[in-house]
Amino acid sequence: MSAKLRAIAVDDLSEDQARDELADLAGEIATHDKAYHQYDAPVITDADYDLLRRRNDAVEARFPELVREDSPTQRVGAAPAGGFAKIAHKVPMLSLGNVFSEEELADFIAGIRRYLRELSTDPSIAIEMVAEPKIDGLSVSLRYEAGKFISGATRGDGAVGEDITANLKTIKEVPQKLTGKVPDVLEVRGEVYLPKSEFRLLNERQAAAAEKIFANPRNAAAGSLRQLDPAITAKRPLRLFAYAWGEVSERTAETQWDFLQRLKGWGFPVNERIRVCSSLEDLMAAYRDLGSARASLDYDIDGMVYKVNRLDWQDRLGFVSRAPRWAIAHKFPAERVETILKDIGIQVGRTGVLTPFAILEPVTVGGVVVSRATLHNEDEVARKDFRIGDTVVVQRAGDVIPQVVEVLIERRPVDAEPFKMPESCPVCGSPAVRHEGEVARRCTNTLTCPAQAVERIIHFASRGCFDIEGLGEKTVESFYADGLIKTPADIFRLADHADALRRREGWGEKSVQNLLVGIEARRTIPFERFLNALGIPQVGEATAKLLARHYLTFPALRAAMEAARIVGSEAYQDLNDINGIGESMADDIVGFFSETHNAHQLDDLEGLLTIEPYVRPAAVESPVAGKTVVFTGTLETVSRNEAKARAEALGAKVAGSVSKKTDYLVIGADAGSKAKKAAELGVATLTEDEWLKLIGEG
């Protein structure tokens, strides 16, 4: 009956019908909330859920007197998205880089050697590393003050997690009070997991009670920990392994190994299979031993983690983007499963690239059902000779997206034909061309291909960019189709079409209001987010930040890009010199700004938005903050990379070549032409010692 009612436009509902439908919606939405929050097993997509909520809002907006007590709009207390309060991590919870082979591991260690100069010059110094099992559970951060458990959070996005203190309190292995002498503030990080034996028992109980069956122990642990009712968590025998720290008021160890021993002393469970290794061979032996023991362990592991043992070295090595330079995960080989390649689809991205993807007979790999997988590009399809109807091998390693790795030729149907990439865009029909030297075939219609335009707008409104609530993929697609949004700037003109929005199926006054408020809230935007949103080829979040940090304001960047169009100009050199920007990137960036169509769109956006200048992260108090520094020649005490990272941490800009804007040129042994150029330009030069004194480390 509800489906029938839902087909009626809100404006045409009678009062009785509205009353019935609100009752239906209240029940239905509550069921989905429960499935999502309590069982971690949503049965409908987020988009469909949103449709239900919007329909409910729209009906209520027309019949305010019919709003029920149990209406989803009347529920207070529960946060709409997560259901838990948020906790900001004082020290971010980062992830780990991966290696999958001995060669990759050797490269990783060589990188550490290069970075710590004393190791590169003296190969006899061993790098001790602690090898720890990589537990496949959920990472948590536990905060203790004066030895008492205060609060606990999930990892979330690494910066902000969910407050699951009440649930963590039900886990016996999470100590409530620590023993011995403990730092005043101590955040311990570790993995909550459900033992395999308990996982099997839990699923038996769930089956008997006709409740949800969990796919694997990790999902079961997640489902158990993210319960809004801690009484349910308490019934699940979750356990803990502690292995790292967040905020600490006082250092109590000099090595990773000592720290793990401290953790044990304070009362935390620490995995028994940890080892100190001092060579690649040792690490590989530890890895193989763990691999052989894997099946017999009562907890899931997905590899090993190696961490530099000396904490002073960990500090110096620091982080690259979101992963430490001093630790790496060595994953076990991915699970592989056979299935049928039913079809090859083509996706058109925001830069017009045509990407082939596999449409598969659904299979479970590594605990999830896979029905689509990327095929990367035209060459990959040709090289592996994927044909529709083939039996293929699909693999999924940890959280990596599924891949089709191989074709079983002997099982190929006789009539299977080689796949040919379309020569026209499957969306707009324009020629799709592959230029020499490029791996990608692109739709040539950059200006009006709907797929490109829609993908660009989706990207523009997405989380790392304008982050406009209520403007997800489906909404952008339908607004585009109806001509409400044709370019990113149109988003900021939507308010002029409020009436048209209100007339849309499933959109009521309230949802229109919410969307428009969400849009207004983003009319002012930080420079780096704006840049990321533009979808300049090769420019993602990290590069956008580099550009913002260098040029500080959007008008300054535009002017510089205008000047950089001249080959060999100082402006071009300046862009190319930014640490992390190479020639091909520089060309793409300059190319983007020089295109007339883009220039019009940028003018349009600048007229509608306030683009905030880049704000330097909490001004570092240092004599080199804001200065531009160039290093040249071989340094004695630190590697070039460590010197650069240190300078950047102190707020300096590190450039690759000397110009008028250079404040200091630091000269090591065998310096070349840069010293000469500095002398010509009157740039201050420093020896390595002078540099160290300047930054207070000499």
Please identify which residue in 305, 589, 611, 635 interacts with ligand IVH, judged by CB under 6 A. 305
- Kindly identify the residues of this chain, within the stretch 138-167, that bind ligand IVH according to CB under 6 A: 139
Minimum CB separation from ligand IVH for residue 402, in Å? Answer: 18
The three-class DSSP label of residue 489 is helix
Please identify which residue in 13, 87, 135, 142 interacts with ligand IVH, judged by CB under 6 A. 135
- Kindly identify the residues of this chain, within the stretch 41-100, that bind ligand IVH according to CB under 6 A: 94-96
Residues 6 or more apart whose Cβ sits within 8 Å of residue 678? 630, 658, 662, 665, 684, 685
Q: Between residues 95 and 487, which has the closer beta carbon with respect to ligand IVH?
A: 95
- Of 130-138, 434-442, 496-504, 580-588, the segment contacting ligand IVH by CB under 6 A is 130-138
Minimum CB separation from ligand IVH for residue 329, in Å? Answer: 5
Residues 6 or more apart whose Cβ sits within 8 Å of residue 454? 476, 477, 480
- Kindly identify the residues of this chain, within the stretch 169-198, that bind ligand IVH according to CB under 6 A: 191
CB 522 within 8 A of CB 447: no
Cβ count near 32 (within 10 Å)? 18
Residue 67 and residue 308: Cα distance in Å, rounded?
A: 60
- Of 67-75, 104-112, 132-140, 202-210, the segment contacting ligand IVH by CB under 6 A is 132-140
Minimum CB separation from ligand IVH for residue 237, in Å? Answer: 19
CB 383 within 8 A of CB 428: no
Tell how far CA 626 is from the center of its chain. Answer: 29
Residue 440 Rama label (left phi>0; alpha psi -120 to 50; beta): beta
Tell how far CA 106 is from the center of its chain. Answer: 26
Active-site residue identified among 4, 34, 90, 134? 134
Residues 6 or more apart whose Cβ sits within 8 Å of residue 408? 338, 390, 391, 392, 393
| Residue 21 contacts ligand IVH per CB under 6 A | no
- Of 39-47, 133-141, 280-288, 442-450, the segment contacting ligand IVH by CB under 6 A is 133-141
Please identify which residue in 21, 33, 132, 642 interacts with ligand IVH, judged by CB under 6 A. 132
Q: Between residues 61 and 135, which has the closer beta carbon with respect to ligand IVH?
A: 135
Q: Between residues 135 and 655, which has the closer beta carbon with respect to ligand IVH?
A: 135
Please identify which residue in 327, 512, 575, 602 interacts with ligand IVH, judged by CB under 6 A. 327
Distances (CA, A) of 85 to 12, 178, 682: 40, 25, 56
Tell how far CA 416 is from the center of its chain. Answer: 39
* CA geometry: angle 75, 508, 81, nearest 5 deg: 40
Please identify which residue in 53, 134, 212, 522 interacts with ligand IVH, judged by CB under 6 A. 134
Size of the site for ligand IVH (CB under 6 A): 14
- Of 131-139, 208-216, 246-254, 438-446, the segment contacting ligand IVH by CB under 6 A is 131-139
What letter represents residue 92's amino acid?
A: P
Residue 433 and residue 441: Cα distance in Å, rounded?
A: 5
Minimum CB separation from ligand IVH for residue 398, in Å? Answer: 8
Please identify which residue in 175, 324, 366, 402 interacts with ligand IVH, judged by CB under 6 A. 324
What letter represents residue 468's amino acid?
A: I
Q: Is 134 a catalytic residue?
A: yes
Q: Between residues 96 and 489, which has the closer beta carbon with respect to ligand IVH?
A: 96
Cβ count near 278 (within 10 Å)? 12
- Of 258-266, 321-329, 352-360, 646-654, the segment contacting ligand IVH by CB under 6 A is 321-329
Residues 6 or more apart whose Cβ sits within 8 Å of residue 607? none
Minimum CB separation from ligand IVH for residue 244, in Å? Answer: 5
Residue 342 and residue 360: Cα distance in Å, rounded?
A: 5
Minimum CB separation from ligand IVH for residue 206, in Å? Answer: 25
* DSSP state at residue 644: H
Question: Which x/- pattern over 247-286 shows residues binding ligand IVH (rule: CB under 6 A)?
Answer: ----------------------------------------
Please identify which residue in 243, 287, 551, 691 interacts with ligand IVH, judged by CB under 6 A. 243
- Kindly identify the residues of this chain, within the stretch 531-570, that bind ligand IVH according to CB under 6 A: none
Q: Between residues 324 and 651, which has the closer beta carbon with respect to ligand IVH?
A: 324
Tell me the residue nearest to ligand IVH as measured from the CB. Answer: 139
Q: Which helix (H) or strand (E) holds 46?
A: helix 46-62
Instruction: Give which of 548, 575, 550 is closest to 561, Cα–Cα.
Output: 575
Minimum CB separation from ligand IVH for residue 319, in Å? Answer: 8
Helices (H) and strands (E) in the chain, counts: 26, 26
Residues 6 or more apart whose Cβ sits within 8 Å of residue 327? 96, 305, 306, 307, 308, 314
Please identify which residue in 58, 174, 328, 329 interacts with ligand IVH, judged by CB under 6 A. 329
Residue 662 and residue 681: Cα distance in Å, rounded?
A: 9
Tell how far CA 298 is from the center of its chain. Answer: 30
Residues that bind ligand IVH in the complex, under the rule CB under 6 A: 94-96, 132, 134-135, 139, 191, 243-244, 305, 324, 327, 329
* Residues noted as catalytic: 134
